[in-house]
A and B are shown apart, each in its own frame.
Chain A
Amino acid sequence: MAIFNLKINGENHQVDVDPESPTLWVLRDHVKLVGTKYGCGIGQCGACTIHIDGQAMRSCSLPISAVADKSITTIEGLSKKGDHPLQKAWIEHDVPQCGYCQAGQIMNAASLLNNNPNPSDADIDAAMNGNICRCGTYVRIKAAIKTAANS
């Protein structure tokens, strides 16, 4: 066990955990931020996507020791009131079905738009391919990303 001082969504948190512990489980079990989801645990599905210094990362494959001095953003901290252009577009397009993958999709899309404010269809496919949606909401996700990009 070791003490880590984390900066999550602009707030400081101190946790005493196994340094190998994936960031995903530290967020969910210790910091009680459960918006970040577990889907596969091996970096294949994107459900656990968070931002580390603004870039999308898979928190299931990221030991807490590797992010201790970085700025972590989770879906809960993407915007103060849930009004990030992507969150608004997601609601407007009625994207979710079960909704389980969507926090990861939004976080990944937010990082895409940070790097590329006007992505083409091919850009979206390439950036989002690591995020599985078992319910098959891909067509709406793409439409929502475009709406957010244009807003």
Chain B
Amino acid sequence: MSLIKTTYNRRSFLKASAVAGGGMVLGFSWLASCTPTQEEIMAMPEEWFDINAFLKIGDNGVVTIMSPNPEIGQNVKTSMPMIIAEELDVSWDNVIVEQAGLNTENFRRQLAGGSQSIRQGWESLRMAGATARRMLLEAAAKQWEVPVGELTTNEGLISHEKSGQTIGYGEIASAAAEVTVPEEIELKDPKDFKIIGTDRLNVDGPKIAKGEPLFGLDVQEEGMLIAMIEHPPAFGMKIKSVDADAVKAMPGIKDVFTINIAPEGIEQQWSDRNNVFNDLVAIVGNSTWEVMKAKKALNVEWEAESSLESSDDHEATLSDLVSQKADPARRDGNPEAAFRDADEVIERTYSAPFLAHNTMEPMNFYANVTADKAELKGPIQTPEFLRKTAAALLGMEEDKVSVMMTRMGGGFGRRLYGNFGLEATLISKQAGAPVKLVYTREDDMSQGTYRPDYKVVYRAALDADKNLTAIHVRGAGTHGSPVFANRFPAGTVDNYLAENHRKESNISTGAWRAPRSNFIAGAEQSFLDEVAEAMGKDPIELRLELFDRAIKDPVGERNDYDAERYAGVLKLVKEKSGWGQDMAGVYRGVSAYYCHNSYVAQVLDVEMVDNKPKVKKVWCAVDCGIVVNPIAAKNQIEGGIVDGIGHAMYSGLTFKDGAPEQTNYDKYRLIRHSEAPAEIEVFFVDNGIDPTGLGEPSLPPIMAALANAMAKATGERLYTQPFVSSQAVLG
């Protein structure tokens, strides 16, 4: 057991109070030791949030644990309460999980993003459980007049061995509510964990399988109208005029009007600033179909207010940028000399298009704005920011605006940006009725906040003995370069240069699952494969040699990774996959990457089926510290792998005159059943380190494992995503 100081502001942030009918309610609002600034949040979404917890013990011993963070399919609604239940020492069977609404008094920073919910919540969730357990123990000790140190707990039962007395949590909960919150609490030794590290099924699983209403789009309220928006068809355009008369007369249509979610003088949150379509037409009516029909019939005249960009222009600009020098983001040794003196220089260029998030559940939100308050409900990763801007738009105090989070039909970063919540708010206000705003798939895919388009050039210098003497990377992308200057391979070569270019654009971009990593990992790890080939080395051996250098004699001061943990996952996947043995008809690629504080290494096997390459199996080693819920953790890893293969292979959003050329799944390809790997095997490194991110880290490296295996299978290297568009054989 470890003793830990409870790090909260006692008076304002922790409340213990008896609730009606007995029982104890504990509300926590932990202060994180380091709170990132808004700027840091924007620049570095991996380092985000504090977290909070809330639990309620019934007099029958049943425990309700509030899950404070939004659930986007990363399974925090199960895994966060597991952590509380562990330290509280209750049977998981007696736990009910409820989604908490936005409540900044009880909780702080209820956010989902950057794979940080568990990492940031780990200690505070444990404290929430342990503090409650301690208060129950103290109440029992007082009642029995025995020293608290003589008491033990087991699955919701307190025992005093000497006297043979026992009492259930439910029976003592009400007395426990009167106990002073302890200054110090004991946390369990991870060795003694009974819930953490065991498979626990998704708490919403049965409801999902039965089709029960869980999602924002499922919200139904008394008197609720349906609303849709019409945004400009192209980036760089705005509304010129709206001819709404004919549409207003259509059956079921209540009103048509324009809204502006970013008027002058209203303070925006960081989550609002990426949005470009702030002036919109809103259509309100009785039913979804009637509003959809009206939307189709609506006559809006648009006009250009800035340039109308096309993918060809973007391609040309990015190519131009990566051919030009930039201020070094990092420079070690003398890379220029190393390249000048090189015996061989390998240079490769990688690029990838814009991507839409394409959450399966399109954007939507429910709002009910009345004269003195507003009720908002829906799928949002950043409820607190939504409330701030909504309150500002309505001219209301924040405490008059409530936000309830529904289960989200996917996020992938899109629901960090709550424009749809603000739109619903203003539409409800104007319509004077509760409304549910619903995006069509086309609205959703053409709305923006895309994964930016990227291009990167890698160069490697080899000397006459085929030693790697220098690496140079130069990246460019819309609204920022994809290159992380201090990540691997920085630190592993004497001469290293990283340069970044930024391209401006009126196409809006935003965080998309594993921002920047989702492109650069694939490029870097594909490049390394070719470098290994040129050096005559096994690709895993080359990587291990580089990590070895970074462990023993790292180059430079600031290397943002732990080379031992990196090497650890690579060795694990090497062993598990039986790397190195010849398997007839199997073509293998390897890749490793570090992001969101976790390490992942993968081997991917391709076989040729009917002359087409087919992904048969993926072997994946992960070091994300302690795994809270293995069955769900594996699901996240598998999902990231399928997602990464799918987007590298099939997906892309292109533009013509400012308008996306793909607005639905007939043209925008997403990976399908038959294209997914037949098998994925996941191995976790067991090292007892506090847990780190899981939702994102398996996606970035798989793009290179795929490309490297495909190169073996087809004899052609892949440089341009989506791969299907660059190689006919893949189509």
Contacts and interface: CB of A to CB of B under 8 A. Distances in A.
A122 to B, nearest CB: 8
Contacts of B640: 136
Contact of B635 (A36, A39, A94): A94
Interface string B113-131: 0000000000000000000
A92 to B, nearest CB: 8
B673 A102 contact: no
8 contacts: A35-B211, A75-B211, A98-B73, A98-B407, A124-B673, A131-B673, A138-B672, A140-B635
A97 B639 contact: yes
A53 interface: no
Interface residues of A, number: 63
Contacts of B212: 35
Contacts of B639: 97, 135-137
Given A44-B664, A131-B673, A132-B665, A21 B362 contact: no
A41 B273 CA distance: 30
Interface string A63-101: 000000000001110000010000100111011111111
The 3 closest A-B pairs by CB, nearest first: A35-B211, A136-B642, A100-B409
Nearest to B674: A125
Nearest to A36: B211
A96 B73 contact: yes
A97 B209 contact: no
Nearest to B74: A97
Interface string A112-149: 00000000010011101111111111111110000000
B234 interface: no
A30 to B, nearest CB: 7
Interface residues of B, number: 67
A6 B357 CA distance: 36
Given A47-B360, A137-B639, A140-B635, A82 B676 contact: no
B465 to A, nearest CB: 44
Contact of A140 (B358, B408, B412, B638): B638
Interface string B175-187: 0000000000000
A137 B638 contact: yes
B701 interface: no
Given A34-B218, A41-B440, A134 B670 contact: yes
A1 B288 contact: no
B280 interface: no
A96 B440 contact: no
Given A132-B665, A139-B676, 9 more contacts: A29-B287, A30-B287, A42-B664, A96-B205, A101-B360, A102-B209, A134-B410, A137-B635, A138-B676
Contacts of B266: none
Interface in B628-666: 631-632, 635-636, 638-643, 646, 664-666
Interface of A: 1, 17-18, 20-22, 25-26, 28-30, 32-42, 44-45, 47, 74-76, 82, 87, 90-92, 94-103, 106, 121, 124-126, 128-142
B578 interface: no
A94 B632 contact: yes
A33 B635 CA distance: 29
B21 interface: no
Contact of A135 (B205, B226, B410): B410
Interface string B265-290: 00000000000000000000001111
Interface in B279-331: 287-290, 292-293
B360 A45 contact: yes
A44 B202 contact: no
B585 interface: no
Interface stretch (B102-110, B166-174, B677-685): B677-685
B347 interface: no
Given A99-B214, A106-B209, A129 B674 contact: yes
A94 B358 contact: no
B289 A25 contact: yes
B141 to A, nearest CB: 40
Nearest to B213: A34
A34 B635 contact: no
Interface centre among A76, A132, A140 (most CB of B within 10 A): A132
A94 B78 CA distance: 12
A121 to B, nearest CB: 7
A98 B409 contact: yes
A35 B664 CA distance: 22
Contacts of B292: 25
B73 A40 contact: no
Nearest to B362: A38
Contacts of B673: 124-125, 128-129, 131, 138, 141-142
B201 interface: yes
Contacts of B549: none
A44 B671 contact: no
B424 interface: no
Contact of B202 (A96, A121, A132, A133): A96
A28 B218 CA distance: 8
A99 B289 CA distance: 24
Contact of A29 (B210, B214, B226, B632): B226
Interface in B192-209: 199, 201-202, 204-206, 208-209
Contacts of B215: 37, 99-100
B360 A94 contact: no
Contacts of B646: 136
B251 interface: yes
Nearest to B224: A29
Interface in B321-380: 358-362
B72 interface: yes
A25 B288 contact: yes
B220 interface: yes
Nearest to B217: A38
Contacts of B251: 1, 18
B81 to A, nearest CB: 16
B211 A76 contact: yes
Contacts of A138: 642, 671-673, 676
Nearest to A75: B211
Given A29-B288, A138-B676, A102 B208 contact: yes
Contacts of B636: 97
B3 to A, nearest CB: 36
A29 B290 CA distance: 11
Of A28, A76, A96, A101, chain B has the most CB atoms within 10 Å of the CB of: A96
Contact of A87 (B201, B210, B226, B293): B210
B441 interface: yes
Nearest to A38: B217
A94 B209 contact: no
